[in-house]
Structure formats: structure tokens, C-alpha cells
Amino acid sequence: MSVETASPTLAPAQAAPVDTRMASLRAIYIIWYRDILRYWRDRWRLVASLAQPLLFLLVFGSGLSSSLGGAFGRGTGISYIQFMYPGIIGMSILFSAIFGAMSIVWDREFGFLKEVLVAPIDRWAVAIGKALGGTTQAMIQGLMLLVLAPFVGVKLSPLTVLQLVPLAAVLAFGLASFGVAIASMMKSLQGFQVVMNFLMMPMFFLSGALFPLTNLPGWMTWLTRLDPASYGIDPIRRVVLSNSGLPNVNSLGLTINGQVLAIPMEAAIMFAFGAVLLSVAVVMFERRD
């Protein structure tokens, strides 16, 4: 009688097959959740990030408001500090969205990115998770500034807040995607200062956060219209001020060829910008070894 010998088999695939689409959704969720967790845990950053907008409003805003007086606003009845207030909300969103998304660079520096990149998940899920994390943080940062409305003479209604949430979301999404795209190309923290000085600051100054984008010199009109943040900050301002009984804000708004853009159009431009840059980020991520 022959003896049966168990032949050594090469290990079969033991792990249960994983639904890759579900796996990617889970990855997006947990990458987003980790960012939010870190955001809440870092209370000092939360406080510090409120300090800058406050400083702008109190010192810069109050100072210019009193020296300009009625000269500002060309008869719209809008004071400088009222004009600037939605811009500062926009600034807060701009900075926190880009910084939040660029935490990828920190993750790389401190090693955690390895844990993410070697996991059996799609790279695009990593980019999207990071962009959504930055978006959420920036929205919270921006909308938190709404508590200052009474101090600058702006009336808020629940309707205003309701309209602001999607507008803050597209602005945050566009800039967070921009942040992920930059981070995917950056290898070290050294480049950070460069990004800050040559991308974020010009973006902020040209966005119409601090002054109306009308009657500017020609070259500057061009640059402000090329700045994606302009299309995110203008609708926020129009909603906040016109709901506050200052409908003339539209005459200070963003125009293309002298035409005031519709708010949904501006939001669509902002969203499209975000979608394009997120695609860039995905391609960059997929390409990394």
C-alpha cells in the first residue's frame, strides 16, 4: 500500500478577498478622521490660528476704518471693517486649508506617511482623504469667526449661515486640494517657506480679502482674476453683507469684463479649480515610489 505524503504547497491566498472600492472609502474616512482628531487635540494651534484673523480685524481693520472713514465704499454705506470681515473669514479658510493639507509633508518628515503609503490601499484615496481633512479643518476655522459678527456691525441670520456653509466648503476644498498638490511635489520641510512666501501670501493679497477688486490697475486686475481664492471670497462677502442690509456690496464685487458673476458661477469655478488640482495631486501620488 502506498503511503500518501502531503506535498508542500505554496501558501494559498488565505486572506479573504477585499472589496477594493469599500477599502478605498474606508481609507478616505480614516485619513480624514485622523486629521480631524489631530486638529481637535492640538488646542494651541486652534487658539493660535484665531489670533491672526483677530489681529487683522482689530488692528488693521479698525485702524484703516477710522482713517478712511466715509471715503471707503464709494457711497455703499459699507465701512472698511465690514468689508474686510468676510475677507478675513476667507483668509482664515485659505491659510488653514493649505496648511492642513500640507501636513502630508510633516507626515513624511516624521515617518507616518510610510505607514499610509505601504498599506494596500489606492493612492488616490490618500490624496482625497487628505484634501477632505484640510477642507473640514478650514471650514471650521472660517465659520468659527462668525461669532465676531456683532463686533464689526454685521447682522447674521440663520439663513446667512446656511448659505455660507457650502460657500466656505468650496473655497476650503479648492485650496486644500491645492495644498495636497503642492505637498505631493515637496520632499522636505525646507520648501515650506518658499510656498508660504511665493504662493500663499500673493494668493491672499490678490484675493480681494483686503480691498475691492474694482478700479485696479490693469495688470493687477488680471492677476486678481487669475487668483482662484478671489472666486471663493467674493461670494462669501456678498452673502454676509447683503443679508446684513448692505445690498450695495455687489458694486464692490468681482467682475469679469465689467459683469458681476453669479454666486453659483463663482462657486462652480472654485470647485472646478479644486477638482483639477486634486487630480494633479492624485497623479503625483500615484507616481511616487
Partner 1 sequence: MAETVIEAKSLVKKYGDLEAVAGIDLEVHAGEIFGFLGPNGAGKSTTISMLCTLLTPTSGVARVAGIDVVHDPAAVRQRIGLVFQDPSLDDQLTGRENLEFHAFVYSVPAQDRRRRIDEMLDLLQLSDRAASQVKTYSGGMKRRLEIARGMLHQPQILFLDEPTLGLDPQTRKSIWTHLNELRSAKGVTIFMTTHYMDEAEYCDRIAIIDRGKIVALGTPEELKGMVGGDVVTITSSKPDAAEREIKELLGVTPARDNGSLRMEVPDGKAFVPRLVRELQAPVDTVSLRRPSLDDVFLKLTGRVIRDEEVSARDRNRAMASRWMGRRR
Q: Which residues lie near partner 1 (CB under 8 A)?
A: 8-15, 18, 22-23, 26-27, 29-31, 34, 37-38, 41-42, 107, 110-112, 114-116, 118-121, 187, 289
Half-sphere exposure in the Cβ direction for 184 (13 Å, CA): 27
**Closer Cβ to partner 1, 106 or 205, answer by number:** 106
CB of 15 to partner 1, least distance (A): 5
**Closer Cβ to partner 1, 107 or 234, answer by number:** 107
CA distances from 136 to 28, 88, 189, 198, 203 (A): 13, 18, 23, 25, 20
**Closer Cβ to partner 1, 110 or 219, answer by number:** 110
**Closer Cβ to partner 1, 27 or 200, answer by number:** 27
CB of 34 to partner 1, least distance (A): 6
Among 212, 249, 241, residue whose Cα is nearest residue 68 = 212
The amino acid occupying position 267 is A
* Whole-number Å distance between alpha carbons of 273 and 259: 21
CA distances from 264 to 129, 159, 235 (A): 25, 16, 9
Residue 171: exposed, middle, or buried by beta-carbon count in 10 A (0-12, 13-18, 19+)? buried
CB of 45 to partner 1, least distance (A): 11
CB of 118 to partner 1, least distance (A): 6
* Whole-number Å distance between alpha carbons of 287 and 266: 32
CB of 110 to partner 1, least distance (A): 7
CB of 94 to partner 1, least distance (A): 24
**Closer Cβ to partner 1, 17 or 245, answer by number:** 17
**Closer Cβ to partner 1, 75 or 289, answer by number:** 289
Q: What is the dihedral angle through the alpha carbons of 140, 146, 148, 149, rounded to the nearest 10 degrees?
A: 170
